[in-house]
Structure 1
Amino acid sequence: METDDKNLRRGWTTGTCAAAATKAACMGLLEGRFPSMVEVTLPGGQRPAFAVAQEEIGGDFARAGIVKDAGDDPDVTHGALIISTVRRGQPGAGITFHAGKGVGMITRAGLPLPPGEPAINPVPRKMIAAAIAEVAGPDIDLAVEISVVDGEKLAEKTLNGRLGIVGGLSILGTTGIVIPFSCSAWIHSIWRGIDVARAAGLTHVAGSTGNASEMAVAAHHGLPDVALIDMGDFVGGMLKYLRDHPVPRITVAGGVAKMTKLGQGMLDVHSKRGLPDLEALAQVARDCGAGEELSARIAGANTVAEAFDLASEAGVEIGNRIAARAWTTAAKVLKQSEISLEILVFDRNGRLRGRADFTPSDHSEPVSS
């Protein structure tokens, strides 16, 4: 396995494992035997080898399984058994793809495949077809069914339900490789959520940093699930995609700490990327009328939430100023007159603590609340 700069092991996507399982199953169907190890070619040309963990030959099918190794990435599918069952297809049909148990079906427009298709993404389909061609040539007719053991339960930990993928997991991957802590699956889920909302004709989406802010913004605007984007810490990742795939109204909603970080210029608001600057927050409080004693207490607060409470108890409301600064950071990414941006700042109880109203994102600052 390759390692990155921090000596973390890289792993393999579900698409790579499905391709390896399919190649082994194809050999079982056509040759009556399974390899102990099977190689597949990744989009970048690498050729990893996989141990075949399950094999079975029936009257009209062959089945093989590969255990997914996600390396050191905290992937929900790490250790899952990815199974491919292959059968002879209808003459002239080529390779057809089917969802077995634990693989979802697409029910909403806006995803890379249309409704009614199994959630086996385009790059994994190409990898599967290439793996089959290595065994049988490019012109064989085969029906390929991909399944994942316990895939339905694992899918509950993903965003598939919101994206309109029902019944199980998606078979994913663009490079075939999982880079530890790259969060590529999360970023792609953000993008697909935007695609689904646009395909549904929505004119307003809301990205939230967590569950509390998501519930709060949904209630605040009366938004349906399909309009809610679980952006987590990846504010920049969501906004950059929306810049190229615009929606007329965008709300960015988050807790006081993460929106303070956004207001301080951080587009990735994960704690590993840096902590909020409480000295800068104290200066915001001064700008809102706080005296030196209160400013000092804010600068020495344990958390941003405590700082907000200290200011509020003294009658100094800093939430709107933080929201305005967060708006400025976010608007610089969008910079489009046809996209109006709003920032909502909530506390952990879902109470609105600050806002910057919808303003075209090519403006220099938001309109006053």
Structure 2
Amino acid sequence: MEHKTGLEDYYVIRGQKKMRFGYTTGSCAAAACKGAVNMLLGDEELPYVSLMTPKGIELCLELHDIKKEDNKVTCAVKKDAGDDPDTTNGILVYATAERTKEPGVMVDGGIGVGRVTKPGLSQKIGEAAINPVPKAMILREAREAADSHDYEGGLKITISVPQGVEIGKKTFNPRLGIVGGISILGTTGIVEPMSEKALVESIHVEMKQHFTQGEEYLLVTPGNYGADYLREHMDLPFERNIKCSNYVGETIDMAIDMGVKGILFVSHIGKFAKVAGGIMNTHSHSADSRVEILASNAIRAGGSLECAKAVLNSGTTDEALDIIHENGILEDTMKEIMTRIQFYLNHRSYEQILLGAVVFNNTYGYLGQTEDAAELIKKIQAQK
């Protein structure tokens, strides 16, 4: 009989499909802790534990790889991310509980749990990357288990994720100065599938760290293309760039709320052609219109009807730019595009902060920059 976790009736509909909920690494750690402490202080081996999550959903989670020693017990819970794409799905999150002479409960990270090396995060430098809510969950489960066994001594809880050493390298953690593994995460204890919130929150965390370190003017790229162009072609501190993915609008909103003074975006035309049409989430599921925006601006630049039709029939922005270039209006079209990117960036921010963009593609390289980009470049260089 298949074990039921308590999430069987929780799902969302995405693209006419049912997408299962999952549970976080924080829930795994707290459940493993509950199991380890109860088995340390009691006699019986537990096959599973119940866990009430901050979201109000009670989970029933299996315990794996149970190891009992004289003064400590280790067990693990397997992460299930539901139908959310997650690099930690299926990994084992371990908790080791051991008695200590010192009173109280101490929580630390072991192998595969990252260590903080830079300021600006929820944890201090040198601490394990266990976020506040998961840590509170772990402490609560340890204390409740101790109380249920009338145990008044101290406990040390060590959370470890053996696979986390390699997985951590694929996450945002190295950029945040978290080394050696993954973070133990989750504010609700539950993973909602295809959640944009998680990615936007990771951008917020990275932005906060840069701002805390004194960077009032931020360097932002949507992805690897922008980061590569920045490293190879611009005299700016490449290592300080923040990746915003498709969330241009949310990045601006968070920066304003944080007190950031300006953002320079460095982007491939494939993303920022959309911004020239006022599209602030550049994912193709949200909106496209790249060739339509390029065609309309080619007309503004003096292009013919045939030129505009050819652009509209092109499959990619690179192909569209080749057509515009062949018609001798690439420079003028890009000036029109830059004017509109600047307008819509300012419109999003209500001109509360300084915003600009440098735009390129792989064929022609530098395509142009918006009106306020030069000033932003100077201010970012001055922060070196």
* TM-score, normalised by the number of residues in structure 1: 0.91
Correspondences of 1:300-339 after superposition (within 5 Å): 300-317=313-330, 318-337=333-352, 339=353
In structure 1, the partner of 2:357 is 343
Q: Which moved more, 1:132-141 or 1:75-84?
A: 132-141
In structure 2, the partner of 1:63 is 74
Matched, 1:97 2:107: yes
In structure 2, the partner of 1:40 is 51
Displacement of 1:327 in angstroms is 2.7
In structure 2, the partner of 1:276 is 289
Q: Which moved more, 1:309-318 or 1:344-353?
A: 344-353
2:186 aligns with one of 173, 180, 185: 173
In structure 2, the partner of 1:352 is 366
Structure 2: gaps (5+ residues) = 1-6, 376-384
Distance 1:268 1:34, change over 3 A: farther
2:66 and 2:73 in contact (8 A); partners too = yes
Correspondences of 1:184-199 after superposition (within 5 Å): 184-199=197-212
Distance 1:280 1:350, change over 3 A: closer
Matched, 1:148 2:161: yes
Distance 1:356 1:147, change over 3 A: same
1:131 aligns with one of 131, 141, 164: 141
Displacement of 1:172 in angstroms is 0.5
1:243 and 1:333 in contact (8 A); partners too = no
Displacement of 1:90 in angstroms is 4.5
Distance 1:143 1:327, change over 3 A: farther
State how far apart, in whole Å, the 2-side matches of 1:350 and 1:148 are: 46
User: Where does structure 1 differ by over 6 angstroms across 4 or more consecutive aligned residues?
Assistant: none
2:79 and 2:89 in contact (8 A); partners too = yes
2:36 and 2:95 in contact (8 A); partners too = yes
In the TM superposition, what whole-angstrom CA distance separates every residue of 1:341-361 from its partner, at most 9, and x where no partner exists?
A: 111212136822121132799
1:265 aligns with one of 267, 278, 284: 278
State how far apart, in whole Å, the 1-side matches of 2:287 and 2:153 are: 54
Distance 1:260 1:61, change over 3 A: same
Matched, 1:30 2:41: yes
Matched, 1:79 2:84: no
Matched, 1:4 2:17: no
2:147 partner letter: G
1:207 and 1:229 in contact (8 A); partners too = yes
1:236 and 1:268 in contact (8 A); partners too = yes
In structure 1, the partner of 2:380 is none
Distance 1:28 1:323, change over 3 A: farther
Distance 1:304 1:25, change over 3 A: same
2:299 partner letter: R
In the TM superposition, what whole-angstrom CA distance separates every residue of 1:312-341 from its partner, at most 9, and x where no partner exists?
A: 23221222322332233232332354x211
Q: Which moved more, 1:21-30 or 1:349-358?
A: 349-358
Displacement of 1:41 in angstroms is 1.3
2:46 partner letter: P
1:208 aligns with one of 205, 221, 244: 221
State how far apart, in whole Å, the 1-side matches of 2:25 and 2:360 are: 37
State how far apart, in whole Å, the 2-side matches of 1:114 and 1:320 are: 46
1:231 aligns with one of 233, 244, 268: 244
In structure 1, the partner of 2:131 is 121
2:345 partner letter: A
Secondary structure in 1 matching 2:359: strand
- Equivalent residue pairs, number: 358
State how far apart, in whole Å, the 2-side matches of 1:347 and 1:34 are: 61
In structure 2, the partner of 1:367 is none
State how far apart, in whole Å, the 1-side matches of 2:304 and 2:283 are: 31
Matched, 1:249 2:257: no
2:222 and 2:244 in contact (8 A); partners too = yes
2:173 and 2:179 in contact (8 A); partners too = yes
Distance 1:90 1:289, change over 3 A: farther
- Give the superposed CA RMSD: 2.1
2:106 and 2:156 in contact (8 A); partners too = yes
In structure 2, the partner of 1:366 is none
Structure 1: gaps (5+ residues) = 362-369
1:25 and 1:85 in contact (8 A); partners too = yes
